[in-house]
Amino acid sequence: MTVAFEAKFVSCVDAIGGEILQVTFDTLGPGKNEDERRSPYVLISRNFEFPGAPTIEWFSGNDYDGGAEITSLALTRDRVLIKLDRDLDFDVSFRLPDRQFKRLGSFLRRMMDAHVLDAVSFSNHPLQRARR
């Protein structure tokens, strides 16, 4: 099953000097009451103080869940495709200014293990071009 939605809000936050990173793709803005949520979101976080892969949680539009392993993540200029080790994928579209998109790409690169990132997906990303 694929959960597809347009994220109206994309946030990238860090804490403890970058030891904890979070990226959220959400249909609702900050401060909304989660008890009234009816539309999807995806939250990916990584805590570098402890070993292990990034964690993911989500609301599909019907149910809250999390704890799956991200098996691949592909980022393009207006979309992120996330495949999990379950029968569930996310296809999230978004619109971001260039500066915020660069930040998103930087966060996802730092958060995800190299084998999870789809290298082709970053080929048009400014950070990828700068490394060549």
Give the 3-state secondary structure percentages of the chain, helix then strand then coil, rounded to 5: 25, 40, 35
Burial class (CB in 10 A: 0-12, 13-18, 19+), 32: middle
Q: Where are the domains of the chain?
A: 2-126
Q: What is the pLDDT of residues 103-112, one digit of tens each?
A: 999 999 999 8
Which residues sit opposite 58 in a β-bridge? Answer: 42, 65
Which range among 6-10, 30-34, 38-42 has the greatest average pLDDT?
A: 6-10
DSSP string, 26-44: ESS-TT--GGG--S-EEEE
Q: What is the pLDDT of residues 33-81, one digit of tens each?
A: 777 778 999 999 999 998 888 999 999 888 889 989 999 999 999 999 9
Q: What is the pLDDT of residue 51?
A: 86
Count how many Cα atoms sit within 13 Å of the Cα of residue 115 in the half-sphere of its side chain.
3
Q: What does pTM read for this prediction?
A: 0.83
